[in-house]
C-alpha cells in the first residue's frame, strides 16, 4: 500500500494519518481506497472504539482532491477516470458520515475541498490557529462537492451560500464560532490531546472540553448581518445586484470576488444548497452531487478554471457562459438531471 496514508492502531484507537506533504495531503484515489478499507476493517473490530484522523507533517490537513488528475481526465478520457474518482471519494465521505464509531478529525492547517469532505463527517472536529477552511471550487469551475451541499446548507443564516460562492477562507476561531469545528485547541496541545484520547478513548468529549483552548474572537461574527442581508437570495443575479447596490467597502470587495468565479458553478452551488437543505438523507445528497460532478467535470469551465488558476496561474479564466444571465435554467436542469440507472452513485 502507498505511504501517502499511514494507518496504525494504538490500543483501542485506529489512526489514519495523511502523508502527502508536498501536495498538502491532497487526496488521490488510492488514498481514498486505503482510508475506506481501514475504516471498514475497524468497523467490524470490537477492539477499536474510536478513530483519529490527522496529517503526518507539513502545513496542510488536506488541501482537497487531486485537481490535476481530474483536469487530465476531463481533457483526455472524457471524464471516465474523473467520475471514478468522484464516485469512490463520495463513498468514503458517506462511509465516514454514517460511521458508528466516533472519528476525531484534527483540522490543523489547510482544510479545503476534499479535506472538508473528510473532516465534516467526523463527530469531533478540532480547529487550531493554523486552520484555514474553505470551499474554493467556484474559482476553478467546480462546485462545493464532497458533501458540501449538506454541510454548508446547514450553517447559520446564509453563511453556507456566502462560503460556497466566494470561496472565503475561515480561520480556526471562525470555524469554531460557526460550528464547523466542535473544538478549538492551540496546535502545541494536539500531541497531548491525541495521547489522552488513545489512553481513554471512551472520554473523547470530556478530554477535548477539559483542555485549555480559548479561540480568539471570530471576525466572521461581525459580518454575519451583512452576509445574511446581501446573500439572502437563491438567485445569483439578485445577490450581485444587492452587492452592487450596497455602498460599503465590504460589499464592493465581495462583488469583485464573485466577478472572478464561474457563473455556471455559482448557480449550480446555489441550487445545490437549496436542494440539499430539503433532504433528510446524506446518501441522497451524495447521489445529487455525483450527478452534478459527472456533468460539470466535462463542461468547459472546469478545465479552463484549473488552467487559469492552478496550471498557468494567469488568473484570467474565460468562463462559458461568461455571465450569470447566460446560465439558463435548462442548462442547470441538465446538470442536475438523473443519470442512467446503471451509472447512479451508490453507497459502499
For the purposes of burial, counting CB atoms within 10 Å of the CB of 281, is it exposed (0-12), middle (13-18) or buried (19 or more)? exposed
Active site residue 114: yes
In this prediction, residue 325 has a pLDDT band, given cuts at 50, 70 and 90, of very high
For position 58, what pLDDT does the model report? 84
Sign of CA dihedral 73, 75, 77, 78: positive
Residues 136, 86: Cα–Cα separation, whole Å: 17
User: Poorest-confidence range of 14-18, 48-52, 56-60, 128-132?
Assistant: 56-60
Alpha helices in the chain (DSSP H): 29-43, 67-76, 80-97, 114-119, 148-153, 159-166, 172-178, 190-199, 204-210, 224-230, 236-245, 249-258, 263-277, 282-296, 300-306, 329-336
Residue pair 103/82 in contact by the 8 Å Cβ criterion = no
Q: What is the mean pLDDT of residues 139-146?
A: 97
- 186-218 pLDDT tens trace: 999 999 999 999 999 999 999 999 998 789 999
Residues 333, 156: Cα–Cα separation, whole Å: 28
Residue among 137, 174, 254, 304 flagged as catalytic: 137
**Does the pLDDT at position 1 exceed 80?**
no
Residues 112, 118: Cα–Cα separation, whole Å: 10
Residue among 4, 54, 66, 145 flagged as catalytic: 145
**Does the pLDDT at position 26 exceed 60?**
yes
- 258-300 pLDDT tens trace: 999 999 999 999 999 999 999 999 999 999 999 999 999 999 9
**Does the pLDDT at position 53 exceed 70?**
yes
Residue among 14, 82, 109, 114 flagged as catalytic: 114
For position 214, what pLDDT does the model report? 86
Residues 316, 220: Cα–Cα separation, whole Å: 29
Residues 4, 221: Cα–Cα separation, whole Å: 37
For the purposes of burial, counting CB atoms within 10 Å of the CB of 109, is it exposed (0-12), middle (13-18) or buried (19 or more)? buried
**Does the pLDDT at position 348 exceed 80?**
yes
Active site residue 238: no
The pLDDT > 90 percentage for the chain reads 97
For all residues of the chain together, what is the average pLDDT?
96
**Does the pLDDT at position 167 exceed 80?**
yes
**Does the pLDDT at position 109 exceed 80?**
yes
60, containing H or E segment: strand 60-62
**Does the pLDDT at position 57 exceed 90?**
no
Q: Which CATH fold topology does 5-343 show? A: 2-enoyl-CoA Hydratase; Chain A, domain 1 (3.90.226)
Q: What is the mean pLDDT of residues 157-181?
A: 98
Residue of 15, 4, 6, 7 lying closest to 191 (CA atoms): 15
For position 59, what pLDDT does the model report? 85
pTM equals: 0.97
Count of other CB atoms within 10 angstroms of residue 323: 11
**Does the pLDDT at position 2 exceed 70?**
no
Residue among 65, 139, 147, 213 flagged as catalytic: 65
5, containing H or E segment: strand 5-10
Pairing of strands 5-10, 13-18: antiparallel
Amino acid at each position: 500500500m502507498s505511504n501517502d496514508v499511514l494507518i496504525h492502531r494504538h490500543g483501542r484507537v485506529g489512526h489514519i494519518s495523511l502523508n502527502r506533504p508536498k501536495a498538502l495531503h491532497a487526496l488521490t484515489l488510492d488514498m481514498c481506497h486505503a482510508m475506506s478499507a481501514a475504516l471498514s476493517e475497524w468497523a467490524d473490530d470490537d477492539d477499536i472504539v474510536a478513530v483519529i484522523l490527522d496529517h503526518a507533517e507539513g502545513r496542510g490537513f488536506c488541501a482537497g482532491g487531486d485537481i490535476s488528475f481530474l483536469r487530465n481526465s476531463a481533457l483526455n478520457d472524457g471524464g471516465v477516470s474523473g467520475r471514478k474518482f468522484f464516485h469512490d471519494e463520495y463513498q468514503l465521505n458517506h462511509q465516514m458520515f454514517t460511521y458508528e464509531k466516533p472519528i476525531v478529525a484534527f483540522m490543523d492547517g489547510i482544510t479545503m475541498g476534499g479535506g472538508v469532505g473528510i473532516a465534516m463527517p467526523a463527530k469531533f472536529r478540532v480547529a487550531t490557529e493554523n486552520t484555514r477552511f474553505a470551499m474554493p471550487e467556484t474559482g476553478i469551475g467546480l462546485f462545493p462537492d464532497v458533501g458540501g451541499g449538506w454541510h454548508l446548507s446547514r450553517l447559520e443564516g446564509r453563511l453556507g451560500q456566502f462560503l460556497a460562492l466566494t470561496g472565503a477562507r475561515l480561520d480556526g476561531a471562525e470555524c469554531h464560532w460557526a460550528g464547523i469545528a466542535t473544538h478549538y485547541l492551540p496546535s502545541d496541545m494536539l500531541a497531548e490531546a491525541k495521547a489522552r484520547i488513545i489512553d481513554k478513548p471512551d472520554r473523547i468529549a470530556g478530554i477535548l472540553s477539559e483542555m485549555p483552548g480559548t479561540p480568539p474572537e471570530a471576525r466572521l461574527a461581525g459580518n454575519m448581518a451583512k452576509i445574511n442581508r446581501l446573500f439572502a437570495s437563491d438567485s445569483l443575479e439578485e445577490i450581485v445586484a444587492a452587492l452592487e447596490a450596497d455602498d460599503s467597502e465590504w460589499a464592493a470587495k465581495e462583488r469583485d470576488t464573485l466577478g472572478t468565479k464561474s457563473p455556471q458553478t455559482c448557480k449550480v452551488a446555489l441550487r445545490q444548497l437549496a436542494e440539499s437543505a430539503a433532504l433528510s438523507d446524506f446518501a441522497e445528497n451524495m447521489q445529487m452531487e455525483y450527478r452534478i460532478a459527472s456533468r460539470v467535470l466535462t463542461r468547459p469551465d472546469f478545465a479552463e478554471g484549473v488552467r487559469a488558476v492552478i496550471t498557468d496561474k494567469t488568473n484570467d479564466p474565460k468562463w462559458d457562459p461568461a455571465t450569470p444571465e447566460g446560465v439558463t435554467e435548462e442548462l442547470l436542469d441538465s446538470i442536475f438531471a438523473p443519470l442512467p440507472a446503471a451509472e447512479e452513485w451508490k453507497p459502499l
